[in-house]
Amino acid sequence: MKDSTLLKFALLIGILGVIGLFFLSKNVVVPSKIKLTPNDEIIIQGKIVKKQSKENIEILKVEEIRVIDVVIFDSSKFMVGDYINVHGVVDEYNGKEQIIADYITQK
């Protein structure tokens, strides 16, 4: 084979490989391997996917790598779809991890 033909073939295969990896990476789900333990201080960044108001609290379901409940003891101005930074403490309620928010900022 000529050197120019071999070079063109190698470039074509390389480009097809990169394009293939791009499309395959869209289907990859990265599981969260971080185990949260109660009383740990934590900072997470994510998108609000659900908001619930109950008596004196609001519960925001925030999606980062996984969805986790963030508990706020005041009403908030945040809406579903907002991207936020949550600073708080990990707690457990009914066997589920949740974060008790100290403060939240919008990204």
Report whether 82 contacts 48 (CB < 8 A): yes
Percentages helix, strand, coil for the chain (3-state, rounded to 5) are 20, 45, 35
Confidence at residue 96, expressed as pLDDT on a 0 to 100 scale? 86
Level-2 CATH architecture, domain 41-106: Beta Barrel (2.40)
Confidence at residue 36, expressed as pLDDT on a 0 to 100 scale? 76
Name every residue whose Cβ is closer than 8 Å to that of residue 61 and which is 6 or more positions away in sequence. Answer: 48, 49, 50, 51, 52, 67, 68, 69, 70
Which tens digits make up the pLDDT trace of 36-63? 788 889 888 999 999 998 888 999 999 9
Over residues 12-32, the mean pLDDT reads 82
Over residues 3-13, the mean pLDDT reads 92
Reply yes or no on whether the pLDDT at 26 is more than 80: no
Which tens digits make up the pLDDT trace of 67-102? 899 999 887 889 999 999 999 999 988 988 899 999
Where are the domains positioned within the chain?
A: 1-30, 41-106
